[in-house]
Amino acid sequence: MRVTTAFKRLLRLDGVNVVAVEFQPAQITVTVALRRRRLVCPHCDHTTRFRYDTRSEASAWRHLDLGMWRVEIRATLRRLSCPTHGVVVEGVPFARPGAHLSRDYDDLLAWLATRMDKTSVARLCRVSWRTVGRAAQRVVATELDPDRLEGLFRIGVDEISWRKHHKYLALVVDHDRGVVVWGAKGRDSATLDGFFDELGTQRSAAIEAISLDLGPAFIKSVKADGHAPNAVICADPFHVVKLVGDALDEVRRDLWQTLRRLPDDRWAKDFKGSRWALLKNPEDLTDTQAAQLAKIKRTRGGIWRAYEMKEQFRAIFAGDLDRDQAAVLLDRWCARAQRCRLEPFVKAARTMRHRRDLILNAVEHGISNGRVEGLNNKVRLIVRRAYGFHTADAALALVMLGAGPINLQLPHERTHVPAA
């Protein structure tokens, strides 16, 4: 078997013939020639038999490594005149437009980036982290399902920080499928306006319910003309309960600071480490945390009142209640919170009264961003790997790969390899 035939079978590149193979100390250079005669624009479906000219230098692409050797593919390409994109270099079937990596290598980098830290990916594949980000963007641009915005009836809107210094991504999740279907940089109303512009008037009218946090920016966008006119806006129970949990944690911190200033540090030592005993659900407490919670109950005081109000508020969403029953419990809770003389809970009660209808909508329709937050845990893990990215597009691409409607396959999974 000739070496060119062997490498044609090893590389499994569509639409090319291997014409030469050059072995170097750390690299194998494979020269290929396109089998097709027609020139194809890499950005659209335009094809032609007429070439504009031929490039004087060969184009090169990085391909999957063969053991310790890097593999580089080279080809002499022609240029064509596209009526839409002007004079461009013809596209090749084994690489995405504008890439210096093969399609298989793009897919491998994107798959690894959602499962490994950046140092490991860069070291294993011998590329920079920015190269990984660009590969992820190319994969999402070509593999993202164009019909992902079809059939949206119940959606959740949330934001997540992808980098320090208040850099956010706004994400839209389909509750029924449990995947991220849209994302963009920012977290203001103009950012979400872009989603509804892309969705269109007809598909926006089909949305039945939207769950979101209590911030005014997303609510303003949803209520705009032509944006989900038939949707019921529901306050996300996760964020609402979190607001009460934050009030409890603020009361706990104030008490901790007071105990630390006492001459006798015995009380401070007994109270130390009580944060998770107070914030966790009672059924999830460890034995040590349950004992500490029982000790707090015996001391009573403002911290125990705050804990009781947190659990009473959780009961509004935990039980199988209708709208009227939930309204009674919510009004009672707000009345107690406003009289409890604990400023964090007084403030929380004002917010609950202001968003009362949205909270009751969430109870009535049973819609929650709990699935969104479950995805956000996965997204946060993915985004932590994106700290090396300096553009929101690369971070968003990694999110869509890890939690979006993309079933990315590795090269050996996509191509049938005959048994030896």
The domains of the chain are located at 1-94, 154-235+368-411, 238-365
Band of residue 14 on the pLDDT scale cut at 50, 70, 90: confident
Band of residue 94 on the pLDDT scale cut at 50, 70, 90: very high
pTM score, two decimals? 0.79
pLDDT in tens, 61-72: 999 999 889 999
Q: Is beta strand 47-48 parallel, antiparallel or unpaired with respect to 27-34?
A: unpaired
CATH number among 3.30.420.10, 3.10.20.30, 3.30.365.10, 3.40.50.300, domain 154-235+368-411: 3.30.420.10
Per-residue burial over 263-291, b if 16 or more Cβ lie within 10 Å, else e, is: eeeeebeebeebeebbbeeeeebeeebee
**Two tokens at 345?**
């809970």
**Two tokens at 289?**
């945390």
pLDDT at 190: 93
Instruction: Kindly tell me if the per-residue pLDDT of 398 is higher than 50.
Output: yes
Share of the chain above pLDDT 90, in %: 41
pLDDT at 166: 73
Share of the chain above pLDDT 70, in %: 92
Q: CA-to-CA distance for 101 and 92, rounded, in angstroms?
A: 12
283 touches 383 (CB < 8 A):
no
pLDDT at 375: 58
pLDDT at 386: 55
Measuring CA to CA, how many Å separate 213 from each of 143, 182, 257? 30, 17, 31
* Closest listed residue to residue 400, CA positions, set 120, 228, 169: 169
Q: What is the mean pLDDT of the chain?
A: 86
pLDDT in tens, 362-393: 888 777 655 556 556 666 666 665 555 667 78
61 CA to centre of own chain:
29
Instruction: Kindly tell me if the per-residue pLDDT of 419 is higher than 50.
Output: no
Q: CA-to-CA distance for 244 and 301, rounded, in angstroms?
A: 18
Q: CA-to-CA distance for 372 and 377, rounded, in angstroms?
A: 9
111 touches 398 (CB < 8 A):
no
pLDDT at 321: 83
Q: CA-to-CA distance for 402 and 145, rounded, in angstroms?
A: 14
**Two tokens at 36?**
């097709």
